[in-house]
Structure 1
Amino acid sequence: MARWVVAVVAAVLVALSLWQLERPRAGLVIEPFPIAGGPPATLFHLPDATPAPVVVIAHGFAGSRQLMEPFALTLAHAGYMVVTFDALGHGRNPLPMSGDVTLVDGTTRLMVDELRTVARAALAHPRSDGRLAYLGHSMASDLVIRAAQQEPRAKATVAISMFSQAVTPTDPANLLILPGEWETRLGVEAMRVLHLTDPAATADQTVGDPARGTARRVTIAPGVEHVGVLYSATARRAATDWLNATFGRDMPAETDARGGWILLLLAAITALGWPLSALMPKGQGAPAPIPSRAFWTATLAPAILTPLILAPFDTRFLPVLVADYLALHFALYGAITLYLLHRARRLTGQFPARVLLLSLAPAIFGILILGTALDRYVASFVPNAERATIILALALGAVPFFLADALLTEGGRASAFRTLAARGAFLASLVLAVALDFDRLMFLLIILPVILLFFLLFGTLSGWIGRRTALPAIAGLGFGLTLAWALGVTFPLFQA
């Protein structure tokens, strides 16, 4: 009975979340925006509107158009013509990033050129009034600043979670900087840039004159970090007000609690996994808990050995940034863990023939159901052909790792302390890998929240399946494939 109640409540919450997330799209024209020789792009505008200023929005590293929709929807409702796009190597863009990522004249220049190509196409659209503003997050904050400095028609720039060495006291015109409250270092950087113009300026104080293009302002979004700032109503309202001041408009900012509804949607879909797990065949009994010594050996040894073993080798074999290293890290970590569990006689009876077939159920749930929601409201989850080999390579690593994780946590039967220890050890091993080769692997730090979210969502689902079937390998195989898919569509394509 309890499973039916959970199923009904979760279904209602899914429907409510979808309704709330679709509401901001109502009343707008949202359509593909083809750009000759340019990236995949989307156009947002009010129907039957008069020509308006163009706002070109650029996402950050490992992002995509979907991630920037909160700002796109807000500004489109405020009457602006908004264009979002998938940058080189990101989302559904088939062209990889290239050049030297450490040089301004390398990858940065190529991505600025792409951004300017999008802006030129948008300014040529019949709904454009010939005026332009840029908005960029994280990595793209530097790109939009450099693009605005090269484009006289750029009248304002909104830099979210900004880090850029290109800003001067007067260039680009009308610069608004939006760090999150929990981005302490980026908040300090924002104030440093503001003080280039006025050493006495404070946050939430406008320096200069928007009508003359000399304005500067820092607005700190409360209670958010590097990703949460994109969903902040304060940040979206500040961006709208800034552009209105620049272009002499007075359309209000319509902000919604998009971030909260996305979290509720993902939580409700995950909750559906509990009643659905009852459809799996019920297992008979469960093995005794892993002895303490065997558990800690299988938890700590791979966390220490994996980064140390891989550190001396050149692990670049895939056309994508750091995913090749991550695939090897997963594979070696999983192999060491499985070997130690085998030595402790914890693999016996865990792989009957039906495991392979049953593992398709969690893979379908993760990739099709949760993946569809992520692709619609969070970030690109549909791979293009160029990513097929990357997903396959990651699967060869992620499946052994997640299989080992499921067995080490005893299919959800292990204590919360052991579960946190096992997964915390893996995250610590990635941090150690970055510390050993920061210049090459620093982008792994950006992907850590994705892995943490994966542990939270799919670790919960894995526990339900493991306790139902008494076969942790089912969830380990299924969600290993899901993790490979999720990471394979997230890492940027890169060609040296």
Structure 2
Amino acid sequence: MVSRQLTVFLAGLILVAFALWQLEQARSGVSTRDMDIGATPATLYWDGNAAPSPVVVVSHGFAGSRQLMQAFSLHLARAGYRVLAFDALGHGRNPMPMSGDVTAIDGTTALLVAETRRVIAAARQIAGASGDVAVLGHSMASDIVIRAALAEPDVDNVIAISMFSEAVTPQAPARLLVVSGEWEARLRTVALSALQQVDPEADEGDTATSGDVQRRATVSPAVEHVGVLFSAHSLRESLDWLNRGFQRSEVPSVEPTGGWILALLIGIVLTFRPLTARLPQRPAAEPPTTKRLLLAIGLPMLLAPAIGVLVFRPFLPVLVADYLLLHFALYAGIQLAVLGRWPVQRGELSWTGLALLLTWGLLFIGVALDRYAASFLPTGERLLVIAALSLATVPFMLADSQVSGAGAGRWWQRLVARLAILVSLAIAAVIKPEELGFVLLVFPVILLFFLVHGTLGRALAQRTGTAASGIGLGLILAWALGVSFPFFAAG
């Protein structure tokens, strides 16, 4: 047993080391400099060459950050472009909140367009900039960069990833590349419609030209809304489009980082399990009967959204975080009432196990994500939001640890419990789509949380019971949600 644990631990360390080496190799040869454009935090990427080059302004989507767009920033910088990526209002480390009406073009959209134009203006002044500027945006930012380009007469090279925008016309933007993921059916339809504005006979993979207007719609295979950002196809198409527009030819090898980020997370998880074996073994809690289990899953799934949408009033400065707090609190309260037992009993909590879970889940995984994939280190204001969210997420994960069986539950038990909370949140979004539609965007965060942090929690629960696992996972879930969604100020 000892040798097996040691083998797993060493395998995890080796995987972590190799993944880190690969991820740092993808950054080699690229210089970076953090800067502020007014209140907007940005990062400049370039290959160290002093020769003048075009600047590509890179903008992330809703609940994204500069880190999420690094694959494009690094690849384009290795090709000789200067890349200026920034955190939009309310996102990442931007201290200024989003504001205005998120459903109106002259509301939040106008403010984001104005911010993007300020970044474009700063891009023209960067040392070594040739004066030529292109823009690249993902999801929400696809619409923002298109509108910003239309307002800047000399910005006519636009790349829209996972695009949805009503600003595209048959005449503008002059040069537009639209990249969609294969599993983004609705957005592929939007991209094809934009292409066929120029040539009604054009199809995906074609480049349509009419006078000075050139447009292309392409599909990255086997990826969805986030995977499209790490696809080698997306990177190659974007660089080829810019090279054609700026009459450049440098094409570095593609260094896809998505798989290595996944490998790094797997390696960190592998190093955790052998350490839990050193903790004192505690007896597993008696599982609920199947009837009570199904009742504890079905009732909150239906009642939490039904009650939540009736009583919800915004009270936190982070978009939909307040509703999530309410929903998780209702969900947990109903589950605990059905189970009839508070999950933490005297003497059950392993403080060492809790500290171990928080170290791996927040420190190691958090630092890894923040450097390579997504903003995970919170600003001071977000700590208050995380603290508020934890009041609901800790009871929710404590209840979930019993409903899912924690370390001892069967696979169907865990699967049904995970699906139920997603269905419950989706019901709320369907009931009030304008007010709560953004809740659906939390799904990738929750899925990643259950896949990565949930695996850590299950390993801990198998050794110490549900208390340390439930509390630790509740705190980590509050953290993940608190750093993901944008700050928002009404008005």
| Residue 288 of structure 1, CA deviation | 3.3
| Residue 287 of structure 1, CA deviation | 3.4
Q: Kindly report which structure 2 residues correspond to 1:91-106, keeping only aligned pairs within 5 A, or say none.
A: 91-106=92-107
Instruction: Please name the residue that 2:315 is paired with.
Output: 317
Q: Aligned in 2, Cα 1:438/1:351: closer, same or farther, shift over 3 Å?
A: farther
CA–CA separation in structure 2 for the residues paired with 1:246 and 1:348: 61
CA–CA separation in structure 2 for the residues paired with 1:88 and 1:348: 40
Instruction: Please name the residue that 1:238 is paired with.
Output: 237
1:13 aligns with 2:24: no
Give RMSD over aligned pairs.
1.5
The amino acid across from 1:432 in the alignment is I
| Residue 149 of structure 1, CA deviation | 0.5
Q: In structure 2, which of residues 377, 384, 404 is the aligned counterpart of residue 409 of structure 1?
A: 404
| Residue 407 of structure 1, CA deviation | 1.9
Structure 2 residues without counterparts, runs of 5 or longer: none
Given that 2:343 and 2:398 are in contact with CA atoms closer than 8 Å, whether structure 1 keeps it comes out as: no
Instruction: Please name the residue that 2:469 is paired with.
Output: 475
| Residue 223 of structure 1, CA deviation | 0.8
SS of the aligned residue for 2:216 comes to strand
SS of the aligned residue for 1:179 comes to strand
Q: Kindly report which structure 2 residues correspond to 1:287-326, keeping only aligned pairs within 5 A, or say none.
A: 287-326=285-324
Q: Kindly report which structure 2 residues correspond to 1:326-405, keeping only aligned pairs within 5 A, or say none.
A: 326-342=324-340, 346-347=341-342, 350-352=345-347, 354-355=349-350, 358-405=353-400
Q: Deviations over 1:36-88 (max 9, x none)?
A: x2410000011133010010000000000000000000100111010000000
Instruction: Please name the residue that 1:110 is paired with.
Output: 111
| Residue 485 of structure 1, CA deviation | 0.5
Instruction: Please name the residue that 1:129 is paired with.
Output: 130
Q: Aligned in 2, Cα 1:134/1:349: closer, same or farther, shift over 3 Å?
A: closer
Instruction: Please name the residue that 1:420 is paired with.
Output: 415
Q: In structure 2, which of residues 4, 29, 32 is the aligned counterpart of residue 2 of structure 1?
A: 4
SS of the aligned residue for 1:383 comes to coil
SS of the aligned residue for 2:177 comes to strand
Given that 1:58 and 1:85 are in contact with CA atoms closer than 8 Å, whether structure 2 keeps it comes out as: yes
Where in structure 1 do 4 or more consecutive aligned residues deviate above 3 Å? 346-351, 353-358
Q: Aligned in 2, Cα 1:350/1:419: closer, same or farther, shift over 3 Å?
A: farther
Given that 2:199 and 2:209 are in contact with CA atoms closer than 8 Å, whether structure 1 keeps it comes out as: no
SS of the aligned residue for 1:411 comes to coil
Q: Kindly report which structure 2 residues correspond to 1:169-208, keeping only aligned pairs within 5 A, or say none.
A: 169-208=170-209
Q: Aligned in 2, Cα 1:14/1:312: closer, same or farther, shift over 3 Å?
A: same
| Residue 206 of structure 1, CA deviation | 1.7
CA–CA separation in structure 1 for the residues paired with 2:353 and 2:259: 33
CA–CA separation in structure 2 for the residues paired with 1:24 and 1:256: 6
Given that 1:237 and 1:253 are in contact with CA atoms closer than 8 Å, whether structure 2 keeps it comes out as: no
CA–CA separation in structure 2 for the residues paired with 1:45 and 1:418: 50
- How many residues are matched? 488
CA–CA separation in structure 2 for the residues paired with 1:219 and 1:81: 24
CA–CA separation in structure 2 for the residues paired with 1:310 and 1:34: 40
Given that 2:58 and 2:73 are in contact with CA atoms closer than 8 Å, whether structure 1 keeps it comes out as: yes
Instruction: Please name the residue that 2:28 is paired with.
Output: 26
CA–CA separation in structure 1 for the residues paired with 2:35 and 2:123: 9
Structure 1 residues without counterparts, runs of 5 or longer: none
The amino acid across from 2:184 in the alignment is E
Q: Aligned in 2, Cα 1:372/1:213: closer, same or farther, shift over 3 Å?
A: farther
Q: Kindly report which structure 2 residues correspond to 1:57-72, keeping only aligned pairs within 5 A, or say none.
A: 57-72=58-73
Instruction: Please name the residue that 2:440 is paired with.
Output: 445
Q: In structure 1, which of residues 485, 488, 495 is the aligned counterpart of residue 482 of structure 2?
A: 488
- The percentage of aligned residue pairs carrying the same residue is 49
Return the TM-score normalized by structure 1. 0.96
1:261 aligns with 2:255: no
Given that 1:350 and 1:472 are in contact with CA atoms closer than 8 Å, whether structure 2 keeps it comes out as: no
CA–CA separation in structure 2 for the residues paired with 1:184 and 1:16: 35
